[in-house]
Amino acid sequence: MAESMRGMKRTCRCAELSEKNIGEEVTMMGWVQKQRNKGGIIFVDMRDRSGILQVIFEDGEINEADFAKAEKLRSEFVIAVKGKVTARSGAVNENLATGAIELRAEELRVLSESDTPPFPIEADSKTKEELRLKYRYLDLRRPDLQRNLIMRSKVATLIRQFLADEGFLEIETPMLTKSTPEGARDYLVPSRVHPGTFYALPQSPQLFKQLLMCSGYDRYFQLARCFRDEDLRADRQPEFTQVDMELSFVDEDDVMDVNERLLQKLFKEILDVDIELPIQRMTWQEAMDRFGSDKPDLRFGMELKDVSEVVKGCGFGVFTGALENGGSVRGINAKGQGGMPRKKIDALVKFAKDFGAKGLAYLAINEDGTYKSSFAKFMTDDELKALVDAMEGEPGDLLLFAADKNKIVWDVLGNLRLEIAKNLDLLDKNVYKFLWVTEFPEFEYSEEQGRYLAMHHPFTMPFEDDIQYLESNPEKVRARAYDIVLNGTEIGGGSIRIHQDDVQEKMLRALGFTDEKAHEQFGFLLDAFKYGVPPHAGLAYGLDRLVMIMAHEDSIRDVIAFPKIKDASCLMTDAPNVVDDKQLEELSLEIAKSEQEQ
């Protein structure tokens, strides 16, 4: 039986009461966290989003009918209690904000009863994620998810306030827009009015925000939902939120300055962490050379060293072969890990192979100065000593080497470095290391497509000196792009944009667009560029990832209210689902025969 709250008015939330309120009559509403009957006195922990309040039902203080109701309370019942705030009669609970007080109930209403939930509502749930996602509305009651979503809300509010104060305008861009083949796969939306045609959901508001700069809005921002129908990878969501901004009449320093101050404010106000400004900058080339990654985690060292010069004449064919094929030999020094058991080293070799290495050469320096190594036998003592010296190897160290094309060497050692750090517990979530990575290559070559792709996107301004190579020597072209990296995660990225129609057309040609195709796809942007365009630049953060790191979570699903699982479905609503034939008819669509038959 559910009772009405008619005539009652809630005073405040549970944890908003404190010793200051002792003696006050209050009306509190919330959920029963647990109920205990201790010798005829009923103790109820009452919960809401603010926390827990202890409520005492004692016969005599409350009428019999209400006391009888209190006896029957169970977890997750929703109740309203009128009563008086008093100092806690028992021991003060230091773990609770309200641990020094209790509410002595004078009236109780049961606003809603509850079945026994399929899993307990508590922090650090051990319940399987699948079950939690099916009952997401219960999962979301858990204090850790509540803390995450409350933090996310605060982050969004702070970002918006900061950007508004800095003269940014929040402008909404369309969700039903045009499909463009560059980039990831689009989600499509069939048009009913124009049969056979489709809208696409935006992968980002990129073109629209650039047009807003053309239109003179000067500074734009939006917390924009973006969509990518990508193949399923761990911890990707088909829809995600971007903190998107664009600025006119600026260069890299302007963009970085405003964003550094934004991040500083955010981390101070949310986490009480001081970020020292300016944030360190590093070119893409240096990041790859030192960390084997364009998003280096700077919380620990273990940097890559290029030992190609040292090993170029050695007797180990794997090393010299890689060099002869235009590759390199690089290593990392896992300090103090020389005693790592063979089994664990084998696991690292397997890990390296997963990233494309043909193998992983290792050399452990025993405490007595001798070596345990997979390749020592192929090299002279002098060669080995030179190599160990180059790696600053000392007794007790473990040296790991990869020899291959640069791209593979970086990838293998960059990931190995992270894996070892993870195993050694070097990744302190309370340490925040920011880094700007700059001077990215404009293009990367796709073996699969047999052409160059834009590493950032086709609207990224090349370095002025490199524009001449756009068509003749794309590999040489550096992009005026910048990523902001936090603890090894790219939390945002952006670039100075091309604002000249001739440069933009060259760029599209370098990407393999015919002029006709370029105009079909981006005609409106190229047209806009004919009418006076300000130099402009922008940046976008992945809000989900940023909040995930701030909340010390390992999955973005833990900072999204209603996430989807790996196959892009929602376990709670069962979306996507089959629709009525009538709906398809209206859209002039048919399911392909091959699928119908399955």
Which member of 124, 172, 425, 516 binds its own copies (CB under 8 A)?
172
38, two tokens: 């201790």
Q: Is 96 left (phi over 0), alpha (psi -120 to 50) or beta?
A: beta
Find out whether 128 and 145 touch, Cβ atoms under 8 Å.
no
Annotated binding-site residue? 499: no
CB of 97 to its own copies, least distance (A): 16
597 binds its own copies (CB under 8 A): no
Of 334-353, binders to its own copies (CB under 8 A) are none
Among 86, 146, 283, 406, binds its own copies (CB under 8 A): 146
* Binding of residue 92 to its own copies (CB under 8 A): no
Give the SS3 label for residue 123.
coil
Choose the binding region for its own copies from 137-145, 333-341, 391-399, 445-453 (rule: CB under 8 A): 137-145
Long-range CB contacts for residues 526-530, cutoff 8 Å, separation at least 24: 526/501, 528/211, 528/214, 529/214, 529/499, 529/500, 529/501, 529/504, 530/501
With beta carbons less than 8 A apart as the criterion, state whether 75 and 60 touch. Answer: no
| Residues in region 250-309 near its own copies by CB under 8 A | 250-251
**Interface region with its own copies, contact rule CB under 8 A, candidates 216-224, 352-360, 371-379, 468-476:** 216-224
Hey, which residues between 423 and 482 contact its own copies (CB under 8 A)?
464
Q: Of 190 and 359, which has the nearer Cβ to its own copies? A: 190
274 vs 574 by CB, closer to its own copies: 574
**198 counts as binding its own copies under rule CB under 8 A:** yes
Pick the binder of its own copies from 140, 270, 271, 390 (CB under 8 A): 140
Give the pairing type, strands 451-454 and 443-446: antiparallel
DSSP calls for 52-69:
EEEEEEEBTTB-HHHHHH
465 annotated to bind ligand: no
Element (H, E) at 305: strand 305-306
Tokens for 223? 């917390």
* Residue 49 assigned ligand-binding role: no
* Residue 519 beta carbon to its own copies: minimum distance, rounded to whole angstroms: 11
Among 22, 171, 349, 390, binds its own copies (CB under 8 A): 171
* Binding residues with its own copies: total (CB under 8 A): 129
Q: Which of residues 508-527 bind its own copies (CB under 8 A)?
A: 524, 527
For residue 199, list its beta bridge partners: 189
Q: Which helix (H) or strand (E) holds 154?
A: helix 143-165
Q: Is 530 in the site for its own copies (CB under 8 A)?
A: yes
Among 65, 91, 234, 592, binds its own copies (CB under 8 A): 592
237 is in an annotated binding site: yes
- Burial track 117-152 (b if 16+ CB lie within 10 A, e otherwise): eebebeeebeeeeeebbbbbebbebbbbbbebbebb
What are the angstrom distances between the C-alpha of 284 and each of 287, 288, 290, 348, 478?
A: 5, 6, 10, 26, 10
Q: Which residue has the tokens 């079950």?
A: 131
Q: Helix or strand or coil: residue 227?
A: strand
CB of 582 to its own copies, least distance (A): 9
Q: Report the nearest approach of its own copies to the CB of residue 240 (Å).
A: 10
Report, in Å, the least distance between residue 49 CB and its own copies. Answer: 5
- What are 218's two structure tokens? 């000067």
By rule CB under 8 A, what string of x and - marks binding of each residue 3-32 to its own copies?
Answer: -xxx---x--x---------------xxxx
- 87 belongs to the binding site for its own copies (CB under 8 A): no
Q: Which is nearer to its own copies, 213 or 408 (CB)?
A: 213
Q: Give the shortest CB-72-to-its own copies separation in angstroms.
A: 14
Q: Is 490 annotated as a binding residue?
A: yes
Residue 360 interacts with its own copies (CB under 8 A): yes or no: no
* Whether the Cβ atoms of residue 5 and residue 80 lie closer than 8 Å to each other: yes
CB nearer its own copies, residue 71 or residue 590: 590
Asked whether position 184 contacts its own copies by CB under 8 A, the answer is no
Rg (CA), the chain: 30
d(CA 277, CA 156): 22
Binding segment toward its own copies, per CB under 8 A, in 205-213, 352-360, 444-452, 472-480: 205-213
Output the known binding site for ATP: 228-230, 237, 490, 542-545
Output the known binding site: 182, 228-230, 237, 456, 490, 497, 542-545
